[in-house]
Amino acid sequence: MSDDSPQNDSDLFDKVVNLSKRRGFVFQSAEIYGGFRSAYDYGPIGVLLLRNVKDAWWRTMVQHRHDVVGLDASILSPPPVWEASGHLQNFTDPLVDCRSCGSRHREDHLDDPDTCPTCGEEGTLTEARQFNLMFQTHAGPVADSAAEVYLRPETAQGMFVNFANVLNTSRKKPPFGIAQIGKSFRNEITPGGFVFRTREFEQMELEFFVPPEESEEWYRYWCQERLNWYVGLGISESMLRLRPHDADELSHYSSGTSDVEFLFPWGWGELEGIANRGDYDLTQHAQHSGERLDYFDQERNERYVPHVIEPAAGATRSMMAFLMAAYDEEEVNEDTRVVLRLHPDLAPYKIAVLPLSKKETLTPLAQSIFDELKTRWMTDYDQTQAIGRRYRRQDELGTPYCVTVDFDSLDDDAVTIRERDSMEQVRIPVSGLIDWFREHLD
């Protein structure tokens, strides 16, 4: 596979979308009413996977660091925030309409700017109009302009407007960061690619405030750290790349931006942008709010506006990348086994307890094993169908280990652990299960 050719399994996209629906990862929103293309619902398995992606990010970015604190800011925010950030003026995409078929497109996503990608007609596209992506609504009962509010299109501004609050309460000083995970909303012109581009999605963002002279060094640090995060969670390096933006792609305030990109079935696509934003954000908010948003360095007896390095990732989009990277098929006994080779930290269930038969003799032991495991790890319990079909189901959910309780278990007080990737089985005494899983999962 060459460096920028799409993944060679051209059906991968459809397979992952089908699996997602079949196994309860992701459902189309409002499906019983014909579906709503711009949003998706995360089902019983998807909610676990998405939560694990966010937890993995939070552990790496907040829990494991002494220099980052968390925040959960509001989604609704008043116009001055977006005036200061530049979103009211600049958060736009160029929109073109096809005069022939009426379809709408983002001009900067067209392969050929003269041809409509829907009907294929040439010369039918209108001039581009700048379309603001922010969702506007009204707070309170009167829908007049005084009540205008916006749904945030990114979580980042919550960190900037709370910079002084966090600085004054957290005893942190630059270099330090504020991290947030939460929903963002963009009125995308062309949502699509499953959960790749939706109008409601989740982001995981860090604003890292540094002394100006250290910004370049921290920018390089975060680019590498963020790439490593995806590799550490099981995406192979050949499916990832760090792509520095060309000068003409950079926002006017950014002195450097790199995207972490993943090789989706249709080619490289952004998972995360890491930007060196200079002092733009704090300066803008200080000017517009009249508040002081800087830092007084007592040791150096110097006041300065920290520069910001921003790693901004999509939680829902990276969840999709983790699914695509983990999807695998192999021939087993003349049958195709579908298996999600998810990293155990991301796997929705870590363990499934499977009594070999529904017979009541096995239930008490199986149930007591489940009760013990469930307090430490997300564990499934399933006693329906033949054991082979239950293994296949757990393979499709990405469950790393199945514990099978059989009739011998009643005599030897031991159970069989089956490993997802190798399908190898080991017999373990029930009393040693917790230690065994501690060693293999924690």
Tell me which stretch binds ligand ATP (CB under 6 A): 223-231, 311-319, 367-375, 431-439: 311-319
Q: Does 91 bind ligand ATP (CB under 6 A)?
A: no
Give the position of tokens 């699914």.
323
Residue 335: in which H helix or E strand, if any? strand 335-340
- The span from the CA of 151 to the CA of 144, in Å, is 17
Residue whose beta carbon is closest to ligand ATP = 314
CB of 439 to ligand ATP, least distance (A): 34
CB of 250 to ligand ATP, least distance (A): 12
Q: Give the chain's length.
A: 442
Q: Does 277 bind ligand ATP (CB under 6 A)?
A: no
Long-range interactions of 10-14: CB distance < 8 A, separation 24+: 10/265, 12/265, 12/324, 12/327, 13/194, 13/264, 13/265, 13/266, 13/324
Question: Quick one: 124 or 184, whose CB is closer to ligand ATP?
Answer: 184
Chain positions 105 to 164 lying near ligand ATP, rule: CB under 6 A, are 154
Q: Exactly one of 314, 344, 348, 400 binds ligand ATP (CB under 6 A); which one? A: 314
- Side-chain-side CA neighbours of 69 within 13 Å: the count stands at 18
The amino acid sitting at 145 is S
Q: Does 180 bind ligand ATP (CB under 6 A)?
A: no
Task: Extract the tokens encoding 128.
Answer: 């581009």
Question: Quick one: 55 or 270, whose CB is closer to ligand ATP?
Answer: 270
Please give the C-alpha separations between residue 346 and each of 47, 63, 268, 314, 427, in angstroms, as whole numbers.
11, 17, 23, 16, 26
Chain positions 185 to 204 lying near ligand ATP, rule: CB under 6 A, are 186, 188, 197-198, 201, 203
The answer to whether the peptide bond before residue 175 is cis (omega within 30 degrees of 0) is yes
CB of 77 to ligand ATP, least distance (A): 16
Tell me which stretch binds ligand ATP (CB under 6 A): 216-224, 243-251, 308-316, 369-377: 308-316
Radius of gyration, alpha carbons of the chain: 25
Task: Extract the tokens encoding 308.
Answer: 């910001």
How many residues form the binding site for ligand ATP (CB under 6 A)?
16
CB of 293 to ligand ATP, least distance (A): 22
Is 270:260 a contact under the CB 8 Å cutoff? Answer: yes
Tell me which stretch binds ligand ATP (CB under 6 A): 141-149, 309-317, 344-352, 383-391: 309-317
Question: Quick one: 57 or 401, whose CB is closer to ligand ATP?
Answer: 57
Q: Exactly one of 207, 261, 272, 281 binds ligand ATP (CB under 6 A); which one? A: 272
| Binding site residues, ligand ATP, CB under 6 A | 154, 186, 188, 197-198, 201, 203, 270-273, 312-314, 316-317
